[in-house]
Structure 1
Amino acid sequence: MFASLLAPLAVLATAAPSDTAPPAKGTPPVTAQTQRSGGVRPPEQLAMRFDTADLAFELLPDRYRLEGVATLGFTATAPLERLVIDLDRNLPVRAIAIDGVDLPPAAWSNPEGQLVVRLPRPLANGQSVSARITYGGTPHVAVRAPWDDGVVWSKTRDGRTWFATTAEGYGCDLFWPCLDFPKGEPAQVTLHIIVPKGLKAPSNGVLLGVDTLPDGRSRWNWRIAHPNTYGIALNVGPYEQISGTYKSRFGNSIPMAYWYLPGEKAQAERLFAEFAPTLDFFETLIGPYPFGDEKVGVVETPYKGMEHQTINAYGNDYAKAIEGFDWLFQHEFSHEWFGNQLTAANWDDYWLHEGYGSYMQPAYGRWREGEARYAAMMQGQRGAIANQVPIVRGRVITEEEVYEAKDGGPGLDIYNKGSWMLHTLRGLIGDAAFWDVTRLAVYGRTDPRPGNFQPRFGSTAEYERFVRQVTGRDYGWFFDVYLRQAALPDLVTERAGGHMTLRWKVPGDGPFPLPVEVQVGDRIVTVPMTGGRGMLAVPDDAHVVIDPFARVLRRSTAVEELQAWRNGKTK
């Protein structure tokens, strides 16, 4: 079966010279449609379920080309006359067959990066269709991956091919025909990746086998269930591999593997030694590793990193840090829970990915070393919170409208402010409730066990419902300020006549009854702040510290002055 899938590609592989110059970064250019990921979708994309994707790739590094045959299975959820599939026009379509019957070229078009295929017959609700798309070309080269997207052509120290993809921003359509929005996940993807002799192709999910072709090339076959739309990744290089097995506290055994470049064995072994304790942290605090029947996989890439499901990209150069663990490995690994198991249904809710992904690093510091490390790591995030726009806007938006300031996005606030919001929420509702809410968000239940959950989609509204469900209280006022307003709550204090008054000032002047700890001399008092106001007795000669353990995210003039000073220096 695999040979027949790639028969057209084998001919192309021998048909051109091998002295093609490498494409420049940012080329070939992509259309606005290809750059767009998420947002309001065409009705045809909302009228079908993505069942399966069988993706056959052939990498031709001498010509900087990628050839592909994608066989996609869909089921109509409403009457459907056309397939609308996202695919960068830099990868021109050469042939399309519907249910095994070839279509004439006039039956499809792709002028701007959204392939429209006119079906030979309309589909009724519940009917299925198979589309086989043959395509290929020179994929868009990233300028500065992973902060922008595309492929990365690189070389190892000894001059061999080192290639990788990354697609969170512009989307999966950069190198395979897909539905480029968060809920466009296929239920199952099978990959067949042909690479030159001497190279390997670690990818998503379970390895089905490696076939050696007559000319010495190899075909790597993988299968993964419910992958995040941008989680499919191609990685090609002369990799070496470290493997092991994690014995989970839930009773199952999980394969672990790290693919690294030759000459780095000692460093690679030290990083691999972090896998099991990090996994134990997440399983203990949150719940089972979501993809235990596939693998924990990490691959060294020629760019910084990305949370590709079960094959996380790692390019941190084995950097050392005072925390004693590799922050990039830990952060990308956190996305197996927050991003791959729990996927935000709309880009507007991506603080669920990045806020949690950022918070789990201080949480891991606390797990390893205690409160001092946790506090130091939280303070490290605090100075980066910008508060220019709200984190959540309550509508369907694109990836660019989240990450790009020019498009009105909160940018890094979904990381740092999201993390501090979670820190404040944990202090407000307590550890037990906070982690139960987290488990509900990740698994849809508070008692996850291997086999009793599936990857799921979540939203801000659902998260708030989970908080109400666990605590029995409505914390809408909390999320209104931290998520739906830009400015932070400001705690205004006055001291006179042996008393101190405290008042929350929040955008919109709504209710904000967030309790505050106050240290008076050697005594710490929790002020309930009912109605957003509070008072306590304070002797005139007492030393007072507001929020001595920094449990609350609030306005800080020191941070504002620091940021203004930094901006001035930059200008």
Structure 2
Amino acid sequence: MVTRLLALAALLPLTAAAPDKGQPALTEQTMRSGGVRPAEQTAVRFDSADLSFEVLPDQQRLNGVATLAFTAVKPVDRLVIDLDRNLPVSAIEIDGRRLAAGRWSNPDGQLVVSLPRPLAAGDSVSARITYGGTPHVAVNAPWDDGMVWSKTPDGRPWVATTAEGYGCDLFWPCLDFPQGEPAVVTLHITVPAGLKAPSNGVLLGVDQLPDGRSRWNWRTKHPNTYAIALNIGPYEEITGTYKSRYGNSIPMMYWYLPGEKEQAQRLFAEFAPTIDFFEANIGPYPFGDEKVGVVETPYKGMEHQTIVAYGNGYAKAIEGFDWLFQHEFAHEWFANQLTAANWDDYWLHEGYGSYMQPAYGEWREGRARYATMMQAQRATIANKVPIVRGRVITEEEVYEPTKGGPGQDIYVKGSWMLHTLRWLVGDQAFWDVTRRAVYGRPDPKPGNFVPRFGSSEEYQRIVRDVTGRDYDWFFDVYLRQAALPDLVETRNGDTLSLAWKAPGGGPFPMPVEVSIDGKTQRLPMTGGSATLSVPPNAHVVIDPDARILRRSEAIEAMQAWRAEQTKARRK
């Protein structure tokens, strides 16, 4: 394997023109992650991937050998594997026997391999794919995807990947949809002399090669499809051990650039209290038998499983903790342990991931910090498109408003929906629901769970099971309608009337708190309305603690004003 990679490198020119950002161009197929899949992909189970990468920063080239193992769950006579055509295939072996070149094709980013024999259900197959080329360069990672070829302040290579939007096929042959997870991935990453390659899972060892380069070998279980990450640089490392409240000991590792030791140590000091927050409220760190891993990257951040990308520049904030580290680390629970089976349920990743920052602020400092952080999110909710549209959908169709998606609402509206749900059902029920959604059981302990897939429908069932009540009306409004419910207030003499006007016209029996001269009562709003007597000249505040995600004319006016200001500046 290594010999073949070295031979390929020897055939290349010593220098090559570096591709511009956004180049080489991608096909529509490669930019599509998730969505409706070819029948051949759902006909197989992805058992394992053994991935060898040779990273050549000076040439901005990536060479690879991928050995993929599948088991047929339905009869199938060909493999359909996602791989960017900018990484052309030079050879394929099926069960150790080399295929003739005419037995595969990849015109648009989906590699189709005709098998020597059809597979019946239960049959297994191994495909060894040799490929390489100039991978797509990200324009503005992580908001778009690709290689990031960067330099450290002293001019040494600093390289990273990101693939959540366009998918794993930017770098390796994979099944580019959420449920295309391989059960186990082994990585072998060859990098220039003097550089390190922290990656997913457990370090199996580092091989020193005769030419001075090194090969870093890692193994990880059940990684989500976009979580495999290459990180190459002259890293220094801080290590420690976290003593979990569940009794296990977890290795912690942070890789950072030289010259940043003091800042790196301060960030590393946040690891243990952050883990404790999640374990206290949700459950065990999901990958305790591998590691807590964080690596500094030349882009903002990403939730790569057990090797979280961090690029926030050690920014200081009034909350007293690094929000970006906390957000990306939250995804170890919400994205990596609990993965949305369909990108349409992306809010399970980002709504929860965003809610964890105010929840952590509350855990550290109390309700005032929580309320302040929630209010900052509230002003950014757009309400243009429903969070969930009820069909199999691609990542870009959710993340990009230009493609009709809800965009940032999966973060902030999802977070506020959870805020409202927590008040509606109570703290204990809310965290019980969260725990079951994440682990698939109410009693998670190290060793009794594995990463799982979830959906909005399942989440609703969990809420029903935990609370004993049907809250479909709640999710129908917040997930499947774009507009927010409007609370209509009418005061006639000493009578205050409240009535919900819900988008879609369905029921919305959301309770409401009302403060009258400083005394707060909770109105059940059975049937979506209620009346109460109010003393003359009494001071009345509706929803005084902002428990409910509802329409705000003030926010709408502010957003319209900002839009006009932006438009005027562009003239």
TM-score, normalization: structure 1?
Answer: 0.99
- Aligned partner of 1:298 among 294, 297, 311: 294
- Aligned partner of 1:397 among 388, 393, 396: 393
Shift of 1:15: 2.8
What amino acid does structure 1 have at the position aligned with 2:469? R
SS at 1:256's partner residue? strand
Alignment of 1:284 onto 2:286: no
Structure 1 contact 65–139 (Cα < 8 Å) conserved: yes
Counterpart of 1:309?
Answer: 305
SS at 1:509's partner residue? coil
Alignment of 1:263 onto 2:259: yes
Counterpart of 2:544?
Answer: 548
SS at 1:402's partner residue? helix
Counterpart of 2:353?
Answer: 357
Counterpart of 1:73?
Answer: 69
Shift of 1:509: 1.6
SS at 2:178's partner residue? coil
Counterpart of 2:436?
Answer: 440
**Counterpart mapping for 1:160-175 below 5 A:** 160-175=156-171
Identity, in percent, stands at 77
- Aligned partner of 2:2 among 3, 6, 12: 6
What amino acid does structure 2 have at the position aligned with 1:474? D
Counterpart of 2:241?
Answer: 245
Separation (CA, whole Å) in 1 of partners of 2:364 and 2:17: 49
Shift of 1:508: 1.9
Shift of 1:497: 2.2
Counterpart of 1:456?
Answer: 452
**Aligned-pair RMSD on alpha carbons?**
0.6
Counterpart of 2:371?
Answer: 375
Counterpart of 1:559?
Answer: 555
Shift of 1:7: 1.6
Shift of 1:14: 2.6
- Aligned partner of 1:525 among 515, 521, 526: 521
Shift of 1:496: 1.1
Task: Report Cα offsets for 1:370-389 as digits up to 9, x if no partner.
Answer: 00000000000000000001
SS at 2:180's partner residue? coil
Task: Report Cα offsets for 1:279-323 as digits up to 9, x if no partner.
Answer: 000000100000000000000000000000000000000000000
Counterpart of 1:58?
Answer: 54
Counterpart of 2:122?
Answer: 126
Separation (CA, whole Å) in 2 of partners of 1:278 and 1:420: 21
Shift of 1:456: 0.3
Structure 1 contact 6–69 (Cα < 8 Å) conserved: no
Separation (CA, whole Å) in 1 of partners of 2:10 and 2:412: 50
What amino acid does structure 1 have at the position aligned with 2:258? P
Separation (CA, whole Å) in 2 of partners of 1:155 and 1:499: 68
**Counterpart mapping for 1:401-420 below 5 A:** 401-420=397-416
Counterpart of 1:196?
Answer: 192
Alignment of 1:330 onto 2:336: no
Separation (CA, whole Å) in 2 of partners of 1:275 and 1:34: 36
Counterpart of 2:315?
Answer: 319
Alignment of 1:224 onto 2:214: no
Farther-moved stretch of structure 1 (101-110 vs 55-64): 55-64
What amino acid does structure 2 have at the position aligned with 1:220? W
Alignment of 1:384 onto 2:393: no
SS at 1:409's partner residue? coil
Alignment of 1:105 onto 2:97: no
Separation (CA, whole Å) in 1 of partners of 2:518 and 2:427: 25
Alignment of 1:30 onto 2:19: no
Shift of 1:13: 2.0
Residue segments in structure 1 that go unaligned for 5+ positions in a row: none
What amino acid does structure 2 have at the position aligned with 1:38? G
Structure 1 contact 518–548 (Cα < 8 Å) conserved: yes
Counterpart of 1:177?
Answer: 173
SS at 1:508's partner residue? coil
What amino acid does structure 2 have at the position aligned with 1:80? V
Structure 1 contact 491–554 (Cα < 8 Å) conserved: yes
What amino acid does structure 1 have at the position aligned with 2:422? R
SS at 2:386's partner residue? coil
SS at 1:558's partner residue? helix
Task: Report Cα offsets for 1:137-162 as digits up to 9, x if no partner.
Answer: 00000000000000000011111110
- Aligned partner of 1:505 among 490, 501, 506: 501
Shift of 1:418: 0.2
- Aligned partner of 1:345 among 341, 344, 348: 341
Alignment of 1:117 onto 2:113: yes
Structure 1 contact 468–474 (Cα < 8 Å) conserved: yes
Separation (CA, whole Å) in 2 of partners of 1:443 and 1:378: 26
What amino acid does structure 1 have at the position aligned with 2:78? R
Separation (CA, whole Å) in 2 of partners of 1:29 and 1:319: 34
Alignment of 1:496 onto 2:492: yes
TM-score, normalization: structure 2?
Answer: 0.99
Counterpart of 1:139?
Answer: 135
Counterpart of 1:480?
Answer: 476
Shift of 1:17: 3.0
Shift of 1:400: 1.1
Structure 1 contact 290–336 (Cα < 8 Å) conserved: yes
Task: Report Cα offsets for 1:437-477 as digits up to 9, x if no partner.
Answer: 00010001111100111100000000000000000110000
Separation (CA, whole Å) in 2 of partners of 1:93 and 1:545: 66
Task: Report Cα offsets for 1:65-120 as digits up to 9, x if no partner.
Answer: 10000000000000010000000000000000000000000000000000000000
Task: Report Cα offsets for 1:260-282 as digits up to 9, x if no partner.
Answer: 00000000000000000000000
Separation (CA, whole Å) in 2 of partners of 1:399 and 1:6: 35
What amino acid does structure 2 have at the position aligned with 1:517? E
Structure 1 contact 54–71 (Cα < 8 Å) conserved: yes
Task: Report Cα offsets for 1:15-36 as digits up to 9, x if no partner.
Answer: 3333323210000000000000
Structure 1 contact 85–114 (Cα < 8 Å) conserved: yes
Separation (CA, whole Å) in 2 of partners of 1:106 and 1:540: 87
Structure 1 contact 242–259 (Cα < 8 Å) conserved: yes
Separation (CA, whole Å) in 2 of partners of 1:107 and 1:376: 60
SS at 1:379's partner residue? helix
Structure 1 contact 389–485 (Cα < 8 Å) conserved: yes
